[in-house]
């Protein structure tokens, strides 16, 4: 039986074994997918050990995506640019790394949520690893403008330097934002601490759609705030999680699972 796993620290909360288990059952693929908690100082050794023991593929999650980027022998172009790797497989004795987070977000926005990105004014909040992974697929969809706002402005400016050649991208401080935007994507980890990035309320208008990359069994603080400001629609990141997993499954198995029933099951469990 082929063996896959997600590696992170902590890993107990991960939904990836369940998602890939559902994909395997749906497609009739004979595989096992587990969760491995790698130690903070032994991540690289554990990845190599996994593949030496005959493992077929790994997903990588917090806090190891940048270290996975350093570790692999070869990277797909979108992972190279993202600076983070969340999917690894072995090919002719080499470890190959890819990043499926960005395409997962875009697939969820367009395919599941029916959002339009073309010609839209998009605000991306945050400039960490997750945002780095989404800028290329977002800009590929030809938005009118993408503004990256971050608490530490220099990090947003760095992203503009890296991705600015792909489309209309600019950096901003929170207080300098002028709205409303058509779509706001929260890629900060503020919600994890129950906090809110201090955005001016003017970023939200009656037609603004809001996507928080975080998800949970309750509405995220960011989405609650956006709804209270009158946003047209709020969405969480559960669909992104399922779609990035589907893209990884495709890379490993050459099959695209139907994500809708899997997302519905996960949503029901939340």
Which sequence positions are flagged as catalytic? 65
- Is the Cβ of residue 32 or residue 155 nearer to ligand NDP in the bound state? 155
- Is the Cβ of residue 52 or residue 268 nearer to ligand NDP in the bound state? 268
Which residues touch 172 (CB under 8 Å, ≥6 apart)? 147, 148, 149, 153, 156
- Is the Cβ of residue 129 or residue 143 nearer to ligand NDP in the bound state? 129
- CB count within 10 Å of CB 258 equals 12
Q: Measured from the CB of residue 188, what is the shortest distance to ligand NDP in angstroms? A: 3
- Is the Cβ of residue 82 or residue 90 nearer to ligand NDP in the bound state? 82
> What distance in Å separates the CA atoms of residue 8 and residue 36, rounded to the nearest whole number?
7
Closest-by-Cβ residue to ligand NDP is: 128
Q: In what order do the strands lie in the sheet with 183-186?
A: 169-172, 145-149, 121-125, 183-186, 209-212, 233-235
- Is the Cβ of residue 183 or residue 240 nearer to ligand NDP in the bound state? 240
Q: Measured from the CB of residue 13, what is the shortest distance to ligand NDP in angstroms? A: 10
Q: Going along 49-164, which residue ranges are E strands?
A: 57-60, 74-75, 87-91, 94-98, 121-125, 145-149
Q: Measured from the CB of residue 244, what is the shortest distance to ligand NDP in angstroms? A: 5
Rule CB under 6 A: which residues touch ligand NDP? 101, 126-131, 150-152, 155, 187-192, 195, 197, 213-215, 237, 240-241, 244
Q: Measured from the CB of residue 83, what is the shortest distance to ligand NDP in angstroms? A: 10
- The SS3 of residue 36 is strand
> What distance in Å separates the CA atoms of residue 135 and residue 102, rounded to the nearest whole number?
7
Q: Measured from the CB of residue 54, what is the shortest distance to ligand NDP in angstroms? A: 28
Nearest CA to 64 among 115, 113, 9? 9
> What distance in Å separates the CA atoms of residue 270 and residue 59, rounded to the nearest whole number?
22
> What distance in Å separates the CA atoms of residue 169 and residue 254, rounded to the nearest whole number?
34
């Amino acid at each position: 039986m082929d063996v896959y796993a997600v590696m992170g620290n902590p890993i107990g909360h991960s939904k990836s074994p369940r998602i890939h288990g559902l994909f395997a059952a749906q497609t009739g693929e004979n595989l096992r997918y587990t969760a491995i908690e790698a130690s903070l100082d032994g991540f690289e050794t554990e990845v190599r050990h996994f593949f030496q023991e005959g493992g077929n593929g790994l997903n990588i999650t917090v806090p190891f995506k940048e270290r996975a980027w350093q570790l692999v022998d070869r990277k797909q172009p979108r992972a190279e640019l993202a600076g983070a790797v969340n999917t690894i497989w072995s090919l002719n004795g080499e470890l190959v790394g890819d990043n499926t987070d960005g395409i997962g977000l875009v697939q969820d926005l367009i395919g599941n949520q029916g959002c339009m990105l073309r010609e839209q004014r998009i605000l991306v909040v945050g400039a960490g690893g997750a945002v780095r992974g989404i800028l290329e697929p977002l800009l590929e969809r030809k938005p009118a403008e993408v503004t990256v706002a971050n608490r530490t402005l220099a990090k947003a400016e760095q992203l503009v330097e890296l991705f600015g050649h792909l489309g209309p991208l600019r950096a901003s401080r929170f207080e300098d934002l002028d709205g409303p935007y058509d779509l706001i994507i929260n890629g900060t980890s503020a919600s994890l601490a129950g906090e809110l990035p201090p955005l001016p309320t003017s970023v939200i208008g009656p037609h603004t759609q809001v996507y928080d990359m975080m998800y949970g069994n309750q509405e995220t603080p960011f989405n609650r705030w956006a709804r209270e400001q009158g946003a047209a629609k709020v969405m969480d990141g559960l669909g992104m999680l399922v779609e990035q997993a589907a893209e990884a499954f495709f890379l490993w198995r050459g099959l695209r699972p139907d994500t809708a029933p899997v997302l519905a099951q996960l949503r029901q469990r939340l």
